[in-house]
Structure 1
Amino acid sequence: MLDDVVEQVLEPVTHDLGGFKVHRVLPARARTMVGPFLFFDQMGPATLASGQGIDVRPHPHINLATVTYLFDGAIDHRDSLGTKQRIEPGAVNLMTAGRGIVHSERSPGDERSHGPVLSGIQTWLALPDALEETDPAFEHIPAAALPVIGADGAAARVVMGSLWGAAAPTTAHAGAVYAAIALAPGGRTPIDDSADERAVYLAAGEATLDGVPLAAQRLYVLRPGAVATLASATGGRVMLCGGDAFARPRHVWWNFVSSRPDRIEQAKRDWRSGAFTPVPDDAAEFIPLPDRPLTVSYP
């Protein structure tokens, strides 16, 4: 029975952003974190009209790291460190906000001309207490540098941390495991049980956990130490995430994360006053501080 291995099932909140949908399972009222992961969005899949694209205007972050992983399409990332980086499927962008960073995410011009596609996952990870105010940083790991392991019709690309003896080169500020698992028709694989907290998410296709069908766009939080097997009769794509449990909860308000509510209040004042460093070559517009953000935690 699924209850033997699953502790919690988190339902998505879906936002229509005009042309494509985002399904958000973290943070949720029932749970804010799985290991260091405290934000989990699936973008698309979507195909936009010719000439259109996504334009996420410059906005700030503090005390977290963002991880962007695409299945299809491309995004141009720019940030206040002067970074300009295109991300494509199978690669990973890791942006460490630390004491504060501003970035934008837009469809590349060559993608817009023929109607861009977009499909992927964006997550945020909490930083350990001692690193919350670290210097901001950015790194890009190409797809070829991420290990892919597997057997029995399952292939797991290790995006962060270690899985089945293979380690990703991506910086992990806290103990974390993050992998994209592709299941071929008839494929199956056990779920590594080494992390304190783990969850699986069916992003596309079909999959079962110990023979019980998984619903798409739900986050299945596994019981600590539970042994389970993922399988698919027709093929599917599953994300595995988790890691070390945090001793102190994290507060989330809009794009700000911190162990201290007063630090979030300071970040609000800083964004209103223009104290954050702007994004070079993309400073003409920005996302204003909302009155009621869509993303909040419930500590």
Structure 2
Amino acid sequence: MAWFKREKKGIITTTEEKLEAPDGLWNKCPNCKKAVHISDLTENKYVCHYCNYHLRVGSKEYFEVLFDLNNFTELFENLTSGDPLNFSDSKSYKDRIKETTEKTGLKDAIRSATGTINGEKIVIACMDFNFIGGSMGSVVGEKIARSIDYALENKIPFLMISKSGGARMMEAAFSLMQMAKTSAKLALLSQAKIPYISLLTDPTTGGVTASYAMLGDINIAEPGALIGFAGPRVIKETIKKDLPKGFQTSEFVLEHGFLDFIVDRRDMKNKISNFLKMVYPAKG
């Protein structure tokens, strides 16, 4: 049965010497399932070349997309969550925080930084879904509040990038208090006539939607983002009815008047800087 074996090496290597592609070079689009080289994906702002699906990304990627030359100064980076309620389930809250920090390299579900977008000064607070579902706890609320204070003190516009499953159940009432706290801070920003831009990404739900995510001077979203309070599955099970097609997508929310614009991530930087030049001239 010698004809099953390749005695001489040709253009194609033998099975034993065949090399596997290194991990991390390709990414499969969750929507169309096609493979995209990671370098092409990065160059395209993490948007699928084939179907324009906006992949979920975190603060690292959004800072790369928005800040000029990816230059920024991170703010309040050492804030970490405590365990005010001594919450305990199958795994203690402290252990989960430690484990998630080690896994993601993040201190909590949000990062804040200041820099420029096309030369316009700005403060950006961006949520990270990989940290316990982007849940809103005390640190998230405190970082947003301090970021707004920094924007007020320096008279710099504020951009909030939301990506969250809602309140963090392990902090209970402490988590829910962040809704009022951040909303009150945003009222001060409004009184000072400093622009606040809210960017809703996939997903933006729960107490985040019910507070700071919907309070922008302009509310914008990425295409196809899930935006709502309770998720569509929960609503469907509650009302026992089928939901409209596209329910709770950013397109559906725009159609019903809760958004001002839907902006492609590849155009986001220019859209935001143009808005700031119009409403905050000679200040940024």
Q: Do they superpose with TM above 0.5?
A: no
Instruction: From the CA coordinates, give the structure whose radius of gyration is larger.
Output: 2
In terms of fraction of residues, the more helix-rich structure is 2
- Provide the TM-score with structure 1 as the length reference: 0.27
